[in-house]
């Protein structure tokens, strides 16, 4: 009778990368879920990011010099030190970085959730961003060199698809200021010619930021699988923008999938509906044979 034994079993690494205005603790539930399924999960901090969101709100100074290129280099170094290419799961700017690193062959697969658009997305599909960017740049700056989100603007821009009470809790748990440098690197918009007062926000024109492009090779046929996820009520990263990104991958023979979640906003990874997005991601990984563990068997 033929028998076998497993010589070695390794856990598949998963790296969770958060986006702007959110602390790394926004991934806590995901980290627990994926760990329970057998993945080796890590949630790296941004350079200078403290352990708690409240600390970051009180003193964000250590993150002052963080821009898009700094984040790219930071996560590239972390991944290159790993024993094997990980699965990258990124939200917002983290989704943009995940796609960039996947296209370079540094990841086994990537999931980009409400990702900041890659170069090539038509401006018509970013139609929500100009006015919203004007509101963000018009926010009172609590610390020189940082762009915070007030609780009302966080409610409008990030947690618009949940109730008021939940939005307040999400703000208290996860919000933190983002360096002005990073906002300038990733937001492009046309400022209003004169300040305009609304019942809620003041739009203040500011100099048009000069973005730092983060190239993504959408034609790469040898990269690992990619899943793009959007919330159809997302105001920071419109669903139309994510759909346009999906189309940009159309010439590649590598696996590229798109999942749209109805009635979900930018907070879809951390609000009360997070488990639906996480479970869909787990099922997608399994469907692409990205198992929690890899075993090498030998027949004896």
- Full-model pTM: 0.88
Segment 133-140 shows an average pLDDT of: 64
Domains contained in the chain, CATH given: 12-289 (3.40.50.1820)
Please, are residues 4 and 298 in contact by the beta-carbon 8 Å criterion? yes
Report the range of poorest mean pLDDT among 9-18, 55-64, 115-124: 115-124
Gyration radius from the chain CA atoms: 20
Task: Round the average pLDDT of the chain to a whole number and report it.
Answer: 86
User: What is the rounded CA–CA span in Å between residue 244 and residue 266?
Assistant: 17
| Residue 13: CA count within 13 A, CB half-sphere | 17
Is the predicted pLDDT of residue 200 greater than 50, yes or no? no
% pLDDT > 70, the chain: 81
Contact 141, 148 (CB under 8 A): yes
- Overall average pLDDT of the 78-106 stretch: 96
Q: Is the pLDDT of residue 201 over 50?
A: no
List Cα–Cα distances, 191 to 99, 138, 196, 203, in angstroms: 29, 10, 11, 9
């Amino acid at each position: 009778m033929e028998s076998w034994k497993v010589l070695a079993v390794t856990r598949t690494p998963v790296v969770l990368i958060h986006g702007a205005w959110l602390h790394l603790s926004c991934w806590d539930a995901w980290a627990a879920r994926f760990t329970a399924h057998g993945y080796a999960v890590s949630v790296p901090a941004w350079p200078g990011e403290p352990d708690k969101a409240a600390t970051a709100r009180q003193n964000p100074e250590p993150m002052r010099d963080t821009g898009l290129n700094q984040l790219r280099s930071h996560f590239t170094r972390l991944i290159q030190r790993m024993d094997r290419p990980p699965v990258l799961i990124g939200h917002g700017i983290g989704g943009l970085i995940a796609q960039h690193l996947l296209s370079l062959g540094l990841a086994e697969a990537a999931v980009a959730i409400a990702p900041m658009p890659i170069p090539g997305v038509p401006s018509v599909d970013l139609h929500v961003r100009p006015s919203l960017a004007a509101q963000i740049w018009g926010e009172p700056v609590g610390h020189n060199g940082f762009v915070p989100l007030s609780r009302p603007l966080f409610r409008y821009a990030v947690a618009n698809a949940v109730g008021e009470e939940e939005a307040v809790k999400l703000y208290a748990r996860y919000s933190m200021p983002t360096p002005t440098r990073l906002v300038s690197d990733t937001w492009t918009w046309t400022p209003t010619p004169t300040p305009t007062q609304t019942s809620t926000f003041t739009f203040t024109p500011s100099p048009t930021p000069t973005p730092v492009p983060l190239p993504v090779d959408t034609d790469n046929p040898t990269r690992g699988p990619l899943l793009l996820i959007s919330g159809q009520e997302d105001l920071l990263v419109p669903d139309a923008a994510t759909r346009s990104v999906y189309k940009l991958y159309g010439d590649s023979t590598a696996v590229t999938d798109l999942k749209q979640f109805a009635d979900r906003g930018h907070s879809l990874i951390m609000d009360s509906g997070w488990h639906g997005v996480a479970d869909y991601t787990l099922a997608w990984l399994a469907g692409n044979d990205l198992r929690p563990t890899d075993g090498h068997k030998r027949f004896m």
